[in-house]
A and B are shown apart, each in its own frame.
Chain A
Amino acid sequence: MHRFNFVLYRPIQLVPVLIGISLVTFLLIHAIPGDPARLLLGAKATPEAIAAIHARFGLDKPVAVQYLYFLVNLLRGELGLSIIYKAPVLQVVVGRILPTLFLLLYAVALAVSLSVVLGSAAAANRGRPLDQAIRLFSTVGLGLPAFWLGIVLIMLLSIDLGWFPVSGYGEDFPDRLHHLFLPAFTVAFAMAPVLTRNLRASLIAESTADYVSAARAKGLPRHVIFFHHIFRNSMIPTINLLGVNVGWLIGGTVVVEAVFSVPGLGGLLVSSIFARDYLVVQAVTLILALGVVATNFIVDIATVALDPRIQP
């Protein structure tokens, strides 16, 4: 299986990117105006106390040395203490990963379902009014701010009709599906236009391929040709696009978590900014970037596994 050798050497290629990510997150905190020791101790701190903090965290050393300190601590999983939660930052952040992951996967499931229905309908009715209507939907969908859509859905479906809870995360799995439906739908709605357009285009392109003519010539029923041949091949670029855009999805969840008070990483990011809990901001940014890198790696493997023609 030499095709999959890249699973072993790709992580090595990722090292420069990972170093870059650590450098950017380090600089984010370093660029904050003002003395970190003063931020930590408050305005009334004595010069001795400030000097002690400087010595303890290496703040009196050159920037390059401070970065190395940061990198070493990072590799040991030490991201500092949260000034708000009075707990290790890593612990605070890890506790918030699950709701965000749940929301993301839920949103992906909804976005893919939505785009499969709309993309297929558009491709099957190419140029007809339904195709135009779906195209208009994609155009409007791209310019629809997720936070506003979330609030409108709360107004219509939660307050007026009482179908869904206004906020929260739920107790068990079915309850979570119920609680997170509106947030997941909101995130999915931002992603669906891009996926729908892409799927429509690849469905149309695939349906003119030679193997489709061959399948038609040997008398296969239309639905078999569509589902077994055209559709399966068209999904590969769409899944790939989804992987490439995982950063967009995560960005969407940050805002949507704030709208629906989901106890995830996005909500933590925003509340920590206002609390000036900068180490948590740094850690959330870092974790989400690592999530993007990991997802792209998985999508690379999945693409090669799905399509034997692709050589990494």
Chain B
Amino acid sequence: MSAAGLALGRRWSRLSPLVWIGGGSCLFWVFVALAAPWIAPYDPVAQDLAATLQPPNALHLLGTDNFGRDILSRIIWGTRLDLQMGVLGVVFPFVIGTTIGAASGYFGGIVDMLLMRLLDVTISFPFFVLIIAIVATLGPGLGSFYIALALVGWVSYARLIRSRFIVLKHADFVTAARSLGYSHWRIAFRHILPNAVMPAIVFSVSDAVIDIVLGSSLSYLGLGIQPPTPEWGLMIAEGQTFIATAWWMTTFPGLAIVLLAVGFSLLADGIAENLGLRD
């Protein structure tokens, strides 16, 4: 366990309130996602043409859409996808970025030069534009979104890890490990990485916010989740036709995105504050 991680554990009782609020909010959404079949009052895709475009009422707490589908049930089921986009979305960029950053920082020289030129090229593209272009090439869908994120999103992790590696590879414990004859692999991943990875982990929590917003934006544009699957961005797109008459169709799924994203943001802020990485 890293020094930073131990410090976090020791100061368990002195955790920032942001960690509790943010973490609690994230756990709430995890619960909603897991319990969807039991807590959703209606089938999220069942149409009820006798009850279309109903405003919020006692039977449909958040109203119904143009097919008479219950908005609350669709939001509850949609949590599964939007939460997944946030959590799974950071995994591939994290792994790829950490590996590239570690290799770049540890070996330096020609390896570093080549990998950093690759990074320069990647960040020359507007992030979201490159994501859209890759998804367009591979075809709309969640799989394409994850592949696009993996190809584009690794840069921030690589930068964070690389800068820590450049400092840490001259540390005494690395010299000690080297004099014991340990392999490069063992020194880089077993000795340096645990001490270098904390800022990247903190970043991954705020990165989840970006992935949730990006994923729902893609679905809104028609390039992500396809109808009739309940997903928040898609629900907002479906509701846009009815904004003059049925405000609830767009308002509530949007609020869900904001609440989920804010939970992750507060958690990231709180962890960063506790580790002294910010303010």
Given contacts A140-B258, A248-B126, contact A155 B120 (CB under 8 A): no
CB <8 Å contact, A288 and B127: no
* Chain A contact surface mostly: helix
Given contacts A143-B257, A273-B136, contact A148 B126 (CB under 8 A): no
Contacts of B216 in A (CB 8 A): 145
CB <8 Å contact, A251 and B136: no
Chain A, residue nearest B261 (CB): A143
CB <8 Å contact, A250 and B117: no
Say whether B90 faces chain A, with CB atoms less than 8 Å apart. no
Write the nearest CB–CB distance from A289 to chain B, whole angstroms: 5
CB <8 Å contact, A139 and B262: yes
CB <8 Å contact, A16 and B117: yes
Contacts of A258 in B (CB 8 A): 221
Counted as pairs of residues, one from A and one from B, with CB atoms less than 8 Å apart, the total is 145
CB <8 Å contact, A32 and B243: no
Say whether A262 faces chain B, with CB atoms less than 8 Å apart. no
Write the nearest CB–CB distance from A282 to chain B, whole angstroms: 8
CB <8 Å contact, A289 and B137: no
Once bound together, how far apart are the Cα atoms of A139 and B243, in whole Å?
27
CB <8 Å contact, B125 and A21: yes
Say whether B64 faces chain A, with CB atoms less than 8 Å apart. no
Say whether B213 faces chain A, with CB atoms less than 8 Å apart. yes
CB <8 Å contact, A20 and B121: yes
Say whether B124 faces chain A, with CB atoms less than 8 Å apart. yes
Given contacts A159-B244, A274-B222, contact A250 B264 (CB under 8 A): no
Say whether B123 faces chain A, with CB atoms less than 8 Å apart. yes
State which of B161-169, B174-182, B196-204, B247-255 sits at the interface with chain A: B247-255
CB <8 Å contact, A142 and B125: no
Total number of B residues with any Cβ neighbor in A under 8 Å: 50
Once bound together, how far apart are the Cα atoms of A139 and B266, in whole Å?
7
Contacts of A139 in B (CB 8 A): 262, 265-266, 269
Say whether A72 faces chain B, with CB atoms less than 8 Å apart. no
Contacts of B266 in A (CB 8 A): 139
CB <8 Å contact, B125 and A288: yes
Given contacts A254-B132, A273-B223, contact A142 B126 (CB under 8 A): no
CB <8 Å contact, A143 and B209: yes
CB <8 Å contact, B264 and A143: yes
CB <8 Å contact, B121 and A21: yes
Given A17, A148, A255, which contacts B257 in the complex, CB threshold below 8 Å?
A148
CB-contacts of A135-170 with B (<8 A) = 139-140, 142-149, 151-152, 154-155, 159
CB-contacts of B210-268 with A (<8 A) = 212-213, 216-217, 220-223, 233, 236, 239-240, 243-244, 247, 250-251, 253-254, 257-258, 260-262, 264-266
Once bound together, how far apart are the Cα atoms of A270 and B261, in whole Å?
25
Say whether B91 faces chain A, with CB atoms less than 8 Å apart. no
Chain A, residue nearest B209 (CB): A143
Write the nearest CB–CB distance from B36 to chain A, whole angstroms: 22
Once bound together, how far apart are the Cα atoms of A24 and B251, in whole Å?
38
Say whether B133 faces chain A, with CB atoms less than 8 Å apart. yes
CB <8 Å contact, A31 and B254: no
Say whether A252 faces chain B, with CB atoms less than 8 Å apart. yes
Chain B, residue nearest A246 (CB): B126
CB <8 Å contact, A247 and B125: yes
Once bound together, how far apart are the Cα atoms of A151 and B209, in whole Å?
20
Say whether B31 faces chain A, with CB atoms less than 8 Å apart. no
CB <8 Å contact, B217 and A20: no
Say whether B45 faces chain A, with CB atoms less than 8 Å apart. no
CB <8 Å contact, A148 and B254: yes
Write the nearest CB–CB distance from B163 to chain A, whole angstroms: 16
CB <8 Å contact, B121 and A145: no
Given B126, B137, B212, B222, which contacts A31 in the complex, CB threshold below 8 Å?
B137
Say whether A195 faces chain B, with CB atoms less than 8 Å apart. no
Q: Could you give 27 example pairs across A and B, Cβ below 8 Å?
A: A17-B117, A17-B121, A28-B134, A139-B266, A139-B269, A140-B262, A143-B261, A145-B217, A145-B258, A147-B217, A147-B236, A148-B250, A148-B258, A151-B239, A151-B254, A246-B126, A247-B127, A251-B128, A254-B129, A255-B217, A255-B221, A269-B133, A273-B132, A285-B129, A289-B125, A289-B126, A289-B129
Residues in chain A within 8 A of chain B (CB atoms):
16-17, 20-21, 23-24, 28-29, 31-33, 139-140, 142-149, 151-152, 154-155, 159, 201, 246-248, 250-252, 254-255, 258-259, 269-270, 273-274, 278, 281-282, 284-285, 288-289, 292-293
